[in-house]
Structure 1
Amino acid sequence: MERNLKNKKVVITGGARGIGYSTADTFLEKGARLVIILDINEKQGQASAETLKSKYGEDKVEFYKCDVTSDLDPVTNKIFDKHKYIDVLVNNAGTSNEYMIQKTIAINVTAVMEWSVKFFERMRKDKGGNGGTVINIASIYGFRVDPFIPIYQGSKFAVMGFTRSYGHPYRYEKYGVRVVAVCPGYTHTMLTLKTKMNDDPSVQKDFEDMLEKTTSWQEVEAVSSAIAEVFEKGNSGTAWLIEGSKPITEVES
């Protein structure tokens, strides 16, 4: 499969801001034919799309208001009615709120699986597709463990397990669809700023103290560059760490 973003059609969930928006920008800069931004925040999504259109061209960006937990069929029907094929799906939408277990799993796990399966079925070569790539945004908390935000950590472990199995080389050889994961370390985003813990105040303080002492923070641009690099070099079923803006490294299974 061609691992060059030039002329690729891309769908990014949670693409209105943060890592998702930066990924849209990076992919377009590298020559993507079209980036479709999906986000539940309609106002921000439209504004972000207009910014990218002014930079890359009116026909380079589309925006659809989308709740990844409930709008899979209506939104994908619109996309596939208009576009014959999509080359890349980036499952970026996520949340971190320890008070809301079901919502966290719905967004971080169930939606990732459902959107992956939907696009995989359209991409698979044995059913007439062109092949393609699914990129799941996991986290360092998909393979590291600490005593904080266990619900979020559990959701990201699930994403890693799903990616490694769904993207297993056996499946890639049969269907021609690559599935990979990117695991960002601590990144300055609204998600990290709004993390809420369902625990006693002393644990919340310890968590915040740990974040304050962490020296490996990075900006969203480092992550989006890593995502583009993983697209270019990552084999199916692999996962890649981007931490502290350092070069990407493969996460051992």
Structure 2
Amino acid sequence: MDNHHLNGRRALITGGASGIGAATAEALARAGADVAIADIDAIAGQATAAALRAHGVATTFVPLDVADEADWERAVATVIETLGGLDVLVNNAGIERSSLLIDQPIEDLRRMFDVNVIGTTLGIKHAFRVMKPGGPAGQGGAIVNIASVAATIVFPGIAGYSATKSAVDRITRIAAAEAGKLGYGVRVNCVCPGLVPTAMGMKLAVDCAAMGLFPSPEEAVAGVVQLTPSGRLGAVADIAEAILFLCGDGARFVNGTSLSVDGGMGS
């Protein structure tokens, strides 16, 4: 029996227009799930959804600013109406704005907390409401939050981002405890990816050089690789496959935990 199949399940992936989110949408679709891609970037999100539909996947796009509760209410209602339910939520949307603490713009810090922490919390809140017994979906399910290796290591220039991703880890564990205690039938886990060469990941390398932490972006990347026992950066598929595992029945007794997918960097 294939414990990674998601046949008949309906999944919502935030930040699904590109990068890890788009790779996750593809992985879940290959496993048999119907997929809703949510993103603030409507053009890219619609293109990603269209590409999946071209391969016969039941896919929809929903506009979503994860820091806006009204957007969450609309998005979840649309997914249930369009796909017929909601069984899986991947809270992938996130932003990273690097800064030395001595220079930290407070508006950047607030925005990271809005998207990474409040956005994740709102996702859990509204998924619980529809997935729990008596909710509009009501079949239980799985939530996977995307934290970061930044929650497990000390690395200069990313104090604010590290704080937000550490918060995601704690929220995940408490959400799992509450869901279990109250009988929601929803597992909640998180993934901590290492550095992946997405647009956000490569911007971090550029920022580290600009802050004087490394002589160049290339040496910043080399420094991360040197700290990684696997000897390379991650790929979006590496992270997507781990998310798929946590969504499926193979992880049916995995709950309230953080899965490091970082090549050993955080060990």
TM bracket, shorter-chain basis = 0.7 to 0.9
Q: CA deviation at 1:148?
A: 2.7
Q: For residues 208 and 235 of structure 2, what CA distance do their matches in structure 1 show?
A: 27
Quick check: 2:4–2:245 contact (8 Å CA) kept in 1? no
Cα RMSD (Å): 2.6
Q: CA deviation at 1:147?
A: 2.5
1:185 to 194, 197, 211: 194
Name the residue aligned to 2:45. Answer: 45
Name the residue aligned to 1:8. Answer: 9
Q: How many residues are aligned here?
A: 242
Name the residue aligned to 1:157. Answer: 166
TM-score by length of 2: 0.81
The alignment partner of 2:55 has SS state of: helix
Q: CA deviation at 1:36?
A: 0.2
Please tell me whether residue 226 in structure 1 is matched to residue 242 in structure 2: yes
Name the residue aligned to 1:79. Answer: 79
The alignment partner of 1:183 has SS state of: strand
Q: Are the structure 2 counterparts of residues 20 and 200 from structure 1 closer, same or farther at C-alpha, using a change threshold of 3 Å?
A: closer
Unaligned runs of 5+ in 2: 99-104, 226-231
Equivalences for residues 26-175 of structure 1 within 5 A? 26-32=27-33, 34-57=34-57, 60-70=58-68, 71-98=71-98, 99=105, 100-125=108-133, 129-168=138-177, 171-172=179-180, 174-175=183-184
Unaligned runs of 5+ in 1: none
The alignment partner of 1:144 has SS state of: coil
For residues 98-142 of structure 1, the C-alpha deviation after alignment (integer angstroms, 9 at most, x for no partner) is 441111010100010011111112111365811111110111112
TM-score by length of 1: 0.86
Please tell me whether residue 237 in structure 1 is matched to residue 256 in structure 2: yes
* Overall identity of the aligned pairs, in %: 30
For residues 179-232 of structure 1, the C-alpha deviation after alignment (integer angstroms, 9 at most, x for no partner) is 010111111111112238599832365887343332230210111111112223
Quick check: 1:149–1:197 contact (8 Å CA) kept in 2? no
Equivalences for residues 178-217 of structure 1 within 5 A? 178-195=187-204, 201-203=211-213, 205=215, 209-215=219-225, 216-217=232-233
The alignment partner of 2:94 has SS state of: coil
Quick check: 2:132–2:139 contact (8 Å CA) kept in 1? yes
Q: Are the structure 2 counterparts of residues 51 and 126 from structure 1 closer, same or farther at C-alpha, using a change threshold of 3 Å?
A: closer
